[in-house]
Amino acid sequence: MEAILAGRRGVGRAFLEQDGRPMVNLAVPVFDVTGARVLGGMVAQVNLRGIVDNTVSVARGKSGYLFVVDERGRLLGHEDFSQVLQSRDVTGSWAVRQLLAGANPADLPTPHLYRSYTGREVLGVFSPVADLGWGVIIEQPAVEAFAPVKRLLWKFGLTMVLVMAAVTSLSILFGFLFTRPIQELQQGTERIMAGDLEHALQVRAVGEIGSLVRTFNQMTRELKVKRDMEAAVRQADKLAAVGLLAAGVAHEINNPMGTVAAYTEDLLERLRTEPAAALAATGEMTEYLQVIRQQVARCTNITRSLVNFARQSRGEKQPVELNELMRDTVALVNFQARSKQVTIIQRLEPGLPVVFADRGELQQVFLNLLQNAVDATDTGGHIHVNSFRGDDGVTVTVVDNGCGITEEHLPLIFDPFFTTKPVGKGTGLGLSICYGILSTLGGQIKVNSREGEGTVVTVTLPPAEMDAQGVSSL
């Protein structure tokens, strides 16, 4: 009535009928024809269900819902009208509490994630109804709200997986096509390092890889030519050494053969006058035969050493006992040394580990060193040949008290064709060949010399146990 008397329309508080219907009183003033004086008014009770039903029909998703509350938070309308009839308490919703607290929706995050009066997590917004104190709240379950995002993420993830799978497959394919020639090149390199210079790679790739393979094959051919030339030079050096040793070896053989001839002739003479049984009984027959056998064995050792040295090397590594090799090599230069009254003294440590090498090539190294020492040593001089196990491997030293090497010549001694010997007495290849052979064996050679005092040549080789990996690749 106050609104009518004041000449304005009025809306009363919403209330619920006994059957649960939401109702509200509406007051409208009636004016005279001039519109200046209030003559009376009309008051009507309006059922809010139809109005609210039109409101809750707003689109809100499959499982979203809209409801209306009054200024006290009472439920006035809901798409599930049974909740209105049951007077469902909706004040547990965060949006309702904010509405009752008079919060301004513009100051709050929109939409807001919270737990509704139903106990479910929802996204919701609210808006107050001006002049009435009512509020309209829309809530949608978070599961449904985020479902499109999740579907998008799932599709995006699936797309990324498919793209990554495709990229990975292409990478593997192109990687295989690209790396296969590289792997073949690596395997070829390993075979070349193992000494197989007959190996040639097939040119399957094009472009830079193909060019690299062709260059590699060309390099292999050149290395083979170089190896063959080096082998020819080494063999020539061997044959030159054999020529120098021939006279000495012949003399070395003549001495034991002379002893064999003398003992044989004496034995035959005695057999003409004495029974063989008598000589056997006294043991003289055995003594004669033992001397003959010893001298024949001496000849055999000398010729065997020379034949083994002269034989062309195949480059095959095998276990070599250094002390035995040194004794055989000294036997080859003994006559040359004795002819100059040079004494060779051997101090060979027993029990040295074997080394893996080509026996002929290694003997060539030490023969060159011993011949150089004999050539450099004056009459009555001494040469010491020592072997021992050091920290870096098995070591052999050849020490002479000869003329030595001048300081300016010392850096040049490993250069091919460099020699200080008179013309016709040396090719200048000996030490160069020694250096090359020892390098392929993983060994070292060092020369210390003083002019007029002598020279010390030190050769160090890795023992077999240190070279196990290299051996396995032979």
- Rounded to an integer, what distance in angstroms lies between the CA atom of residue 54 and that of residue 380? 134
* Structural contact between residues 69 and 75, judged by C-beta atoms closer than 8 angstroms: yes
Query: Is residue 200 over pLDDT 50?
Result: yes
H or E stretch covering 328: helix 322-339
Q: Let me know how long the chain is.
A: 474
Of 243, 260, 240, 333, the residue nearest 300 (C-alpha): 260
Handedness of CA 78, 81, 85, 87 (dihedral sign): negative
Query: Is residue 472 over pLDDT 50?
Result: no
| 56-72: average pLDDT | 73
Which SS3 state, helix, strand or coil, does residue 385 take? strand
Q: Are strands 444-450 and 343-348 parallel, antiparallel or unpaired?
A: unpaired
- Phi, psi dihedrals of residue 335, rounded to the nearest 5°: -65, -45
| 313-331: average pLDDT | 84
Considering only residues 369 and 50, tell me which one the structure prediction assigns the higher pLDDT: 369
Of 57, 61, 54, 50, the residue nearest 23 (C-alpha): 50
Q: How many CA atoms lie within 13 A of 70 on its CB side?
A: 16
Considering only residues 219 and 63, tell me which one the structure prediction assigns the higher pLDDT: 219
Where does residue 437 rank: exposed (0-12), middle (13-18), buried (19+ CB within 10 A)? Answer: buried
- Rounded to an integer, what distance in angstroms lies between the CA atom of residue 144 and that of residue 127? 22
Confidence of residue 409 (pLDDT cuts 50, 70, 90): confident
Task: Give the model's pLDDT for residue 232.
Answer: 66
Residue appearing with tokens 């020279």: 455
- Per residue in 3-13, pLDDT (tens digit) is 666 666 666 67
Considering only residues 331 and 201, tell me which one the structure prediction assigns the higher pLDDT: 331
* Structural contact between residues 362 and 316, judged by C-beta atoms closer than 8 angstroms: no
Residues 6+ apart with CB under 8 A from 343: 337, 381, 382, 383
* Structural contact between residues 374 and 422, judged by C-beta atoms closer than 8 angstroms: no
